[in-house]
Chains A and B, each alone.
Chain A
């Protein structure tokens, strides 16, 4: 008997044949990442959860349209991106460019009940992220938090790679300025 890791592509193939359990396993691999991506975009836990469910339902319904199972992640995030921006448009029918005023995510300072970073730093980061435009913030989330390549981000947000880079680098310049006052005391306390 040979054991091997079950790849996403295997689960996708099974799910395409109607295997719901295989799809549930696929969801369990991605739900946390997709939820946090959406949470940082819409900055509302209920919306993020609802959108996550919608994303996985749409992905299941359109799984046959996925040409290359190896491109599942960017494809899934493209659906999530569309769902999030669809929500923005619904909430802002008059076409305002800036997104909703997010709720403060104080809970982000702890993971599993243990304090990982000082509260002031997480608050400062949340505040600094809110000062970015929606496009800049999404690019930072996809690159820094989700670890996508520039080409994948370009596919997700449907923009050229040069635009993606420009958004990210401008955002990082802004964040560098915003976070400079809080980084120094943190370093002094030994958090790197």
Chain B
């Protein structure tokens, strides 16, 4: 069992990230057990490499045979699509062709038909008519509202006046009553005085 911070076999096959490799390297320098493990791995690899490559007994090669050759069309097609620059050019050419076809075949747009020209005088007259109509309507509405408001105010004033008149009448009646009472008393006084002077009993009731 290895005590290395990372798998020693990954370290041996250089499959660790740089920081992991450095940490493992530091550990291996101080750990005899891990060094032995690495030596065993190295020894196994060396033993495996004792089995050398063999020479191929017969060289492999192909001859240019028309049977295996691509047709000229195919070669041209492959050459076209085998290059990014050519592919770009072909795409641009197709796009241009599509634009030309579209511009030639699209339906002709209908010409814009302007409204029948009106004379400026007629237009001005129509505008004036419309403006005066709207102005009259607005004025009529404002007048009606004002009249209604004034009618309400008049009614209020009349009601107030009636109430004041009634109060004044009532006050005047009270004053007349008082006056009559005073006159009556004065008359009685006069009568009494006359009676005292003439001996008659002419009291007013």
Contacts and interface: CB of A to CB of B under 8 A. Distances in A.
Q: Is the interface of B mostly helix, strand, loop or mixed?
A: loop
Interface in B43-98: 43-64, 68-70, 75, 78-79, 82
A61 B59 CA distance: 19
Contacts of A121: 47, 50
Contacts of B112: none
B60 A52 contact: yes
Interface residues of B, number: 35
Interface in A33-53: 33, 35-36, 39-40, 45, 49, 52-53
B59 to A, nearest CB: 7
Contacts of A124: 47
Q: How large is the interface on A (under 10, 10 to 19, 20 to 34, 35 or more residues)?
A: 35 or more
Given A24-B61, A31-B59, A60-B62, A17 B75 contact: yes
A175 interface: yes
B194 to A, nearest CB: 150
B61 A52 contact: no
Interface in A117-168: 117-118, 121-122, 124-126, 129, 140, 143-145, 150, 165, 168
Nearest to B47: A179
Given A16-B78, A143-B13, A176-B44, A125 B51 contact: yes
A172 B49 contact: no
Interface string A5-44: 0000000010011101101100110011101100110000
A164 B189 CA distance: 149
Contact of B53 (A16, A32, A64, A187): A32
A55 B77 CA distance: 25
Nearest to A144: B48
Interface in B1-48: 9-10, 13, 15, 40-41, 43-48
Interface string B134-156: 00000000000000000000000
A192 B43 CA distance: 7
B53 A17 contact: no
Contact of A64 (B48, B57, B61, B78): B78
A35 B56 contact: yes
A13 B79 CA distance: 9
Interface string A173-192: 00110010011001100011
Given A45-B57, A172-B44, A176-B40, 18 more contacts: A32-B55, A36-B54, A49-B56, A49-B57, A107-B54, A111-B52, A111-B53, A116-B52, A118-B50, A121-B50, A122-B50, A124-B47, A125-B47, A145-B51, A150-B13, A165-B9, A186-B47, A186-B50
Closest 4 CB pairs of A and B: A117-B50, A20-B64, A35-B56, A36-B53
20 contacts: A16-B82, A18-B69, A18-B75, A20-B63, A20-B68, A24-B61, A56-B60, A60-B62, A117-B52, A122-B52, A125-B48, A125-B51, A129-B51, A145-B49, A145-B51, A145-B53, A150-B13, A175-B48, A183-B43, A183-B47
